[in-house]
Structure 1
Amino acid sequence: MTELMQTPAEAGYSMPAEWSRHAACVMIWPARRELWSDRFDEAKRDYAAVARAIAAFEPVVMLCNPGLAAEVIDFCGSGVEPLEVPVDDSWARDSGPAFVTNAAGNVAAVKFGFNAWGNRWHPHDQDALVPDRLAAHFGVPLFRAPFVLEGGAFLVDGEGALITTEQCLLNPNRNPHMTKEEIEQGLKDYLGVTTVTWLPYGHSLDVGPAGTDGHIDGVAQYIAPGRVLLEVPSDRASSEYERARANLARLAETPDAAGRSLDISILDPHRDADVSYANHYIANGAVIVPVDGGDHDAAVLDVLGGLYPDREIVGVPGTTIAFGGGGPHCITQQVPAGDFGGRVQQPNAEPTR
């Protein structure tokens, strides 16, 4: 594995949009039993459901602790590739690297500091090494960023724009030595973006032992260049109502990197929903969406079908993963198609279903 001394931006790399073609998806098999309490086996079942759903459209690599490859195959099937490496927890979006590409199609990995969401959980030293291990596995060079950042704390549109939340990135449990301006410059340097939009809030319940202090991927998602999906409840009694309206106002007043006013699609989450529908994973040809089995699932899936007309909308069980603090987006990390050290990796032209 080669380490690169420049920043990705200096070297001409940037993070592609999530709807760009993927060579693979990375996940991590549930590992921290105390997080899941008596729902540990349920977590395995639902991680497997997500993995199988994605594997119908693109390759899935599942990191797992040594000795668990057979268990992964037993739960997920032979379409998911187990990769035995030591891990502490199972949130690939946050502990894994961000994958970036350059104009020639070369792929590289970016390693950010990882402190388990403000030192909420210990140990986390093995999770901090996930980017190194994935860079070695895929045979790509590695950039090292000198600050703490989780993948669920930002969204990119692949054209220079990034969205994050002040609630998370300005929390002193992440980078207390850095100013807002310094954090913003770090995002630009290591993700290759030119514009950063700061929303005030993530989800109000995204706190406590299983929380992340307001990750953006719990309330929003880019769905196309210049287009953002934002969860905004219509119910004024909702604990999210005022926070979501503040986020909406900030988005509405902020142009993207191309100078466009954002086209904002509102998703009204049902007050009884146990999942974040915005926390979905965009796969090759599909969108993997958490559902909770309520009557409101069908309406939300229909809305998402209209927003992603060229992709199959696939609902997966979401309540147990939500209990652990996330959704399909939190437990996945896309690997863009491209040149992996001279090995060009492209997915099949057509999904398997």
Structure 2
Amino acid sequence: MSDWRMPAETAPHERTWMAFPRAGRTLGDDPDSAEEARAAWAAVAHAVAEFEEVTMLVDPSASGDARRHLSSSIELVETPLDDFWIRDSGPTFVLPTDGSPRLGAVDWIFNGWGAQPWASWEADREIGAFVAARAGAGILPSLLVNEGGAVHVDGEGTVLVTETVQLDPGRNPHADRARVEAELARTIGATHVIWLPRGLTRDYDELGTRGHVDMVATIPSPGVLLLHAQTAAAHPDHEVTRSLRDLLSGQQDAAGRSFEIVDLPAPAELRDEHGFVDHSYVNHLVVNGGVIACGFGQPASDERAAAILREVYPGRRVVTVDARPAFARGGGIHCITQQQPALV
């Protein structure tokens, strides 16, 4: 049995961590597009700050932009960054299983989502340890190449992963399921691993992660699965999400419960200038007393998603923020945030 466990995202938070956009491949070269990204990250930070503290990592080259976009309610911490997807480059916070008031942080190996040819990670591979030290957490080193967006837990031992991430030859060429499961048990207290065969179609494009689970499914409460549903038959994810639903309908969680599956339909828009979109409302962030939801400029679809989120997270206020600038760069609201659990 592990000495540590990753709590559910619905557990109380001490704060949320983010990283501010800096110049690079993901930000883009167009000044207007870059400003759009900065404004989008700031909008998420200010939405989260309505519910809990926010600490924003800022590369020194972007400090002026950060101060221009962020209010004094956001704590700024300068440190070198390659990119700004803190869910993936940052640590995964854990708590001791004995209930003592200590904070741990799993420092996964980060290699640019499987050594993507466009990515750089010399600075980002140090972010896990940097954030852990800043948060006063004990570091749990790991030899597993992994990212925070590649796992979702229920806080009771269940974890969702995808074969194309943890078993990716660009990440863990010598790993098999047993080795990955043993490391997830040691680091985050996983006692039951559910393997999805893949993620959404666009996640395998140039700026994709090769199948992060936080675009596909999450566990809003033990025994309940919130699953991305692409209802348009013309979209390649229509078959993907149907197959995932069939697989998950036969699964049980760590406690032996069969899952209640709640479909979270994709927005009506199917394409952008690059092809079929992977717009997913599953990629939201749960905060203290609230949910920061992805919006895609489609009032009917956005409100339907917000209504479902209010139902599966009872008592929490749902705040929708335009997530299109983040998705255009390869991620969503969950991807640009990382929760630090409270010591309660």
Match of 1:252 in 2: 249
C-alpha separation in 2, matches of 1:104 and 1:232:
40
The one-letter amino acid paired with 1:307 is: V
CA contact (8 A) 2:158 2:191 kept: yes
Alignment of 1:18-33 (within 5 A): 18-33=9-24
Q: Distance in 1 between matches of 2:124 and 2:310?
A: 35
Structure 1 residue aligned with 2:42: 48
Alignment of 1:31-70 (within 5 A): 31-37=22-28, 38=30, 39-66=33-60, 68-70=62-64
Q: Distance in 2 between matches of 1:150 and 1:290?
A: 21
String of CA shifts for 1:328-349, please: whole Å, max 9, x gaps.
10000000001xxxxxxx7xxx
Residue equivalent to 2:291? 287
Matched residue of 1:198: which SS? strand
Matching residue within 333, 336, 339 for 1:331: 336
Hey, what does 1:350 align to over in structure 2?
none
Contact 1:73 1:80 in 2 (8 A): no
Residue 209 of structure 1, aligned match among 206, 217, 226: 206
Q: 2:307 aligns with which of 287, 302, 307?
A: 302
Equivalents in 2 of 1:69, 1:34: separation in Å?
Answer: 18
Post-superposition Cα deviations, 1:228-278, rounded to whole Å, max 9, x if no partner, equal: 100122333321122112211221111100010011101121341653110
Matched, 1:116 2:112: yes
Amino acid at match of 1:301: A
Shift of residue 71, structure 1, vs aligned partner: 3.3
CA contact (8 A) 2:267 2:280 kept: no
Q: Which amino acid aligns with 2:325?
A: T
**Which deviates more from structure 2 when the two are superposed, residues 168-177 or residues 329-338?**
168-177
Q: Distance in 1 between matches of 2:309 and 2:119?
A: 37
Q: Separation in 2 of the partners of 1:105 and 1:310?
A: 27
Match of 2:274 in 1: none
Cα offsets for 1:4-60 (capped at 9, x unmatched): xxxxx64x1110000000000000011243223222211110000000000010000
Letter in 1 for 2:36: E
Match of 1:266 among 263, 267, 272: 263
- Name the TM-score, length of structure 2 as normaliser: 0.92
1:169-220 per-residue CA deviation (whole Å, 9 max, x = no partner) reads 2221110011122112211111111000011221111022210001000111
CA contact (8 A) 1:69 1:83 kept: no
The equivalent of 1:137 in structure 2 is 134
Q: State the TM-score, normalized to the length of structure 1.
A: 0.90
- Give 1:313's aligned residue: 318
CA contact (8 A) 2:267 2:298 kept: no
Contact 2:293 2:319 (C-alpha < 8 Å) held by counterparts: yes
Task: Say if 1:32 and 1:115 are closer, same or farther in 2 by CA, change over 3 A.
Answer: farther
- What is the CA-CA distance between 1:300 and the residue it aligns to? 1.6
Counterpart Cα distance in 2 of 1:140 and 1:270: 39
- Give me the whole-angstrom Cα distance separating, in 2, the residues matched to 1:203 and 1:31: 27
How many equivalent residue pairs? 330
Amino acid at match of 1:327: G
Where 2:160 maps in the other structure, the secondary structure is: strand
Q: Counterpart in 1 of 2:273?
A: none
In the alignment, structure 1 segments of 5+ residues that lack a partner are 1-8, 339-345, 347-353
Is residue 278 of structure 1 aligned with residue 282 of structure 2? Answer: yes
Partner of 1:106: 102
